[in-house]
Amino acid sequence: MDQSQLTKLVKDKDLDHLRHFGGVNKVASALESDVNAGISGEPDDVSHRQRVFGINTYKQPAKGFFHYVLEAFMDLKITILLVCATLWLGSGIKENGVKEGWCDAGSTFMMVLLMIAVSAVSHHWQNRKFDELSPASGNILIDVIRKGWWQKVSIFEIVVGDVVCLKIGDRVPADGLFIEGHSLQVDESSMTGESDHVEVNSNQNPFLFSGTKVADGSARMLVTSVGMNTAWGEMTSSISRDSSEQTPLPARLNKLTSSIGKVSLAVNFLILVVLLIRYFTGNTQDKNGNQEFVVGQTTGHNIINSVVGIIADMAMIMVVAIPEGSPLALTFAHAYSMKRMMADRVMVRRLSTCKTMGRATIIRDDKSGTLTMNQMKVTKFWIGLDSVKENTYSSVSKNVLDLIREGVASNTTGSFYRPSLGSEYEFLGSTTEKAIISWAVSQLSMDMEDIKKRCEVIQVEAFNLQKKRSSVLIMKSTDDTVHVHWKGAAEMVLAMCSSFYDRSGIAKDLDENERMRFEQIIQGMAASSLRCIAFAHKQVPKEATKEKKDQKKIQEDNLTLLGLVGIKDPCEESTVQACQDAGVNIKMITGDNIFTAKAIATECGILKPQDEAFTVEGTEFRSYTPEERLQRVEKIRVMARSSPFDKLLMVQCLKQKGHVVAVTGDDTNGAPALKEADIGISMGIQGTKVAKESLDIIIHDENFASVVKVLWWGRCVYDNIQKFIQFQNTVNVVAHVINFVAAVSSGAVPLNAVHLMWVSLIMDMLGFLVLVTELPTRELMEKSPGYQTQPLVTNVMRRNLGATYQIAVLLTLQFKGESIFGVDEAGKRTLIFNVFILCQVFNEFDERNLEKKNVFEGIHKSKLFLGMVLVTVILQVAMVEFLKWFTDTERLSWGLWGTCVGISAVSWPIGWAVKFIPVSDTSIFIYLRSKSQELVRKILYRRQ
């Protein structure tokens, strides 16, 4: 069979063709695979299959570098600059000849081309980085069988012929055929739009599609198509990706940029009006010092040339002066933080998520493996009412131990294997399953493969959060007897039992007295932070095997209790405390009983004696009225025995109360809450694919400390963006004020279009590179999350604004520069331009921290910052000293260079002194609005 036949077979659900070919076994044979052992998995075999059948990735139409060049050319800003430069070139050549007339316009053309190049390179680089990040964020480990052993491989390494093991919550990784399984139901809504679950079996419907989700049951499938050859691949091939997101912070940035742009246009339009008025009133002079416009004497040709030149100059300044660096800075900050978090095995799927996480006020967490250290181990074992020590298992009845081994081996979704002789066993599955299997193998000498050969699995009821238990119906090949094995939460299983085995193997009736003693044992383990799991058994008649055909449930009454195990997992109190110090509350919502949940919460520091917080069970929370839930939800710290609906209900209540909610989870039952939350976080590589479909962040280590890192980086992104906004606002305010005052007073602007393009292109680019890549600091975790809901430009930023000193210095140079330093007009313009740029260089140091007085702390670690500052200074020296024709400047002496540096460096002590001035947390606009409302109320009161 070739690839086209395989694709058509599954896509068309052609059951007749499959049967005509010989069934799934024949297809596996044709693909040189085995339905039981899978493929060999050797590197040569895998690479050969990838060459023949393709790789399991979904390629999207890629945009080349020249696409971004064309996109930059079509930008309205660039178009206006090119038109103005062309007009300027024409008037310059006409007035001064070709040899000299092209210089001013030529430098503008060069700067515009440089802007296009930088824009294209930055956008191409950004998209390439996200193309690199996207596969990493979607890299999920899949259970496959190769060489007869269970293994975990990347979803991208799945090949045609692989045998994939599916369980509840998994996303089908490729198109394939059903081999065998139990009660498999698949959600195909992503393909068909139908919400009803589809039953998949070997008789009527053995076809599985990539992208669909396992809603119930478990199975093994044979992969027949991967990547773009799957039905899902065909759908995605025609969809072009749009990575742009209009989320709250970008929207606020765009609004701020738009406001600044409008003010910039208004100021520059006012400057244009002033220059035209000065020209027509005879207050301007040409290069020879003669009056440019004389009524009745100046020809119309000269008037047109002069007016066109003024309009072209100001149009270019208007366009260049509009700030556009903030959105790009935000994108770069997100990409940089995402890249850094990848080193900690944290994958952020969406740009906005990191920032949203930074303002989270509630983290709703499942205890399993996240608040704990994910090192689960069986530490207690009870047979009947006796606790069995680790080295005394030989005193327990062999029959009871055999039944426990049988129950562990057959009633599980986990497994283990030994990669090579002499190596340690590796265990697969959830943390609980791995702990139980590890204990059974090491302490009970369980031979899982031998038990599975001797026991035929007839029916399976998978574990879910409603029942808190799972079961299996098996038939022993040795004596053809049929047995039921149950495993799950101890109190749930205990309620199903009518008898129990003691350590001698004698079955005893479970009367009310013994039942109460067992409940005390369970509560005692729970109070010691142990997760208590019970095993139960029952031998049933052979007729029970027919119940599967009748779709009857496995018998769950009159069971015999085999034993209890207590599983311990140490807690991480320090990370919980770090979140609480940052003003973020942790709520633990778990399926454990209330005693275990309270013990874990107390050990982790979620519950404290002096707090008013309390614990509830899911049923109690569900029974509250909507008003009661909203009233109590903030005080609830722990919710035990919770269902998926309870989790969803709590998230909805918290959001109604105005909280930004982050939810962690690793199972399908948590998917509704994950999707409803502001941020959904998958914890651990065993997190099901349905959960991962609903979330924003994937953390490959079941470690709550990683959640704290995401919180830390989210705040860092916001803080760095504020630094860049302040830096950019300083540049814009100074440039506009100095140009406006100079235009009104002298009829000329000292900072021309080339100077402003240089600032916009180089200073903004280098500015955001050095400011948005600053690493997180401990002080960020001491702030309340509410600080991110304040305006982007805060009172602290207004206080720190270094524009006042710069404006004073530049205006002094504008009016007194020639007499103070003994330079001509061109020398004065050069001094103004040079001091303006160097002030921004020194200002970058002040913006490293908006509140701390010591801005040099940790500067030696910021190699990128120091490197970019050095590059800026070198480029500025080159602009002034070697590119006179380009920037319309004059070379400066060593003395003047020292003066420029000294004047600019004064901004450091001024910035340090300014930070001693206290500021209010209330926005000045809110303060003025409240005062005006208060004044209006007083006036109305007096009138009454």
Residue-wise pLDDT tens digits, 927-940: 566 667 777 777 77
751 vs 336 pLDDT, higher one: 751
CA 760 from centre of chain: 30
Would you call 453 helix, strand, or coil by DSSP? helix
| pLDDT at position 390 over 90 | no
Q: What is the DSSP letter of 502?
A: -
863-882 and 825-846 are packed helices; what angle lies between their axes, rounded to 10 degrees? Answer: 180
Instruction: Record the tokens describing residue 459, joined without a space.
Output: 């029916």
Can you count the helices (H) and strands (E) in the chain? 35, 26
Q: What's the confidence (pLDDT) of residue 538?
A: 92
Confidence band (pLDDT; 50, 70, 90) for 448? Answer: confident
pLDDT in tens, 71-108: 777 776 677 767 777 776 776 676 666 666 666 667 66
Mean pLDDT of the 350-370 span: 64
Q: Name the residue type at position 40.
A: S
240 vs 36 pLDDT, higher one: 36
Confidence band (pLDDT; 50, 70, 90) for 484? Answer: very high
* Percent of the chain clearing pLDDT 70 (strictly above): 74
Q: What's the confidence (pLDDT) of residue 691?
A: 42
Beta strand pairing call for 455-461 and 469-476: antiparallel
Q: What's the confidence (pLDDT) of residue 241?
A: 43
> Which stretch of 305-309, 475-479, 565-569 has the lowest confidence by average pLDDT?
305-309
Q: Name the residue type at position 746.
A: S
**Residues 6 or more apart from 248 whose CB is under 8 A from it?**
352, 355, 356
Q: What's the confidence (pLDDT) of residue 485?
A: 93
| pLDDT at position 61 over 80 | no
| pLDDT at position 371 over 70 | no
Q: What's the confidence (pLDDT) of residue 213?
A: 81
Mean pLDDT of the 616-630 span: 89
The answer to whether 152 and 687 are in contact (CB under 8 A) is: no
Q: Which helix (H) or strand (E) holds 222?
A: strand 213-225
841 vs 235 pLDDT, higher one: 841
Tell me the backbone φ, ψ of residue 788, rounded to 5 degrees. Answer: -85, -5
On the 0-12 / 13-18 / 19+ scale of CB atoms within 10 A, 193 is: exposed
pLDDT in tens, 703-718: 677 777 778 877 887 7
Confidence band (pLDDT; 50, 70, 90) for 519? Answer: very high
Distances (CA, A) of 428 to 149, 439, 656: 11, 13, 40
Instruction: Record the tokens describing residue 319, joined without a space.
Output: 């366009």
Confidence band (pLDDT; 50, 70, 90) for 689? Answer: very low
Q: What's the confidence (pLDDT) of residue 743?
A: 79
| pLDDT at position 527 over 70 | yes
Q: What's the confidence (pLDDT) of residue 83?
A: 77
pLDDT in tens, 114-137: 767 767 776 676 666 556 655 555
Give buried/exposed letters for 296-315 (b at 16+ CB in 10 A, else e): eebeeeeeebbeebbebbbb
Instruction: Record the tokens describing residue 829, joined without a space.
Output: 């313009």
Q: What's the confidence (pLDDT) of residue 508?
A: 92
Q: What is the DSSP letter of 291?
A: B
Distances (CA, A) of 491 to 405, 467, 496, 597, 683: 21, 11, 9, 14, 27
Q: What's the confidence (pLDDT) of residue 592?
A: 75
Q: What's the confidence (pLDDT) of residue 897?
A: 93
Mean pLDDT of the 354-363 span: 70
Distance CA 575, CA 425 (A): 31
Q: What's the confidence (pLDDT) of residue 245?
A: 42
> Which stretch of 159-173, 254-268, 732-746, 844-858 has the lowest confidence by average pLDDT?
254-268
Confidence band (pLDDT; 50, 70, 90) for 395? Answer: confident
Distance CA 247, CA 288 (A): 55
Q: Which of 366, 569, 678, 696 is catalytic?
A: 366
Mean pLDDT of the 331-342 span: 70
Q: What's the confidence (pLDDT) of residue 723?
A: 81
Q: What is the DSSP letter of 39?
A: B
Q: What is the dihedral of CA 764, 767, 772, 774, to 10 degrees?
A: 180
327 vs 467 pLDDT, higher one: 467
Mean pLDDT of the 680-693 span: 54
Confidence band (pLDDT; 50, 70, 90) for 744? Answer: confident
Confidence band (pLDDT; 50, 70, 90) for 944? Answer: low
pLDDT in tens, 550-609: 556 788 888 999 999 998 876 666 677 778 777 888 888 887 778 878 877 887 788 876
Catalytic residue flag (residue 366): yes
Distance CA 692, CA 129 (A): 22
Give buried/exposed letters for 143-160 (b at 16+ CB in 10 A, else e): bbbbeebbbebebbbbbb
Q: Name the residue type at position 482.
A: V
Distance CA 620, CA 235 (A): 45
* CA-derived radius of gyration, the chain: 36
Summary mean pLDDT of the chain: 78
Distance CA 197, CA 583 (A): 43
**Residues 6 or more apart from 463 whose CB is under 8 A from it?**
413, 469, 470, 488
Q: What's the confidence (pLDDT) of residue 372?
A: 62
Mean pLDDT of the 465-484 span: 84
Q: What's the confidence (pLDDT) of residue 678?
A: 80
pTM of the model: 0.61
Q: What's the confidence (pLDDT) of residue 939?
A: 79
Q: What's the confidence (pLDDT) of residue 688?
A: 44
Mean pLDDT of the 381-398 span: 87
Residues forming beta bridges with residue 665, ordered by sequence position: 682
Q: What's the confidence (pLDDT) of residue 423?
A: 62
Only one residue has tokens 């007869």, namely 148
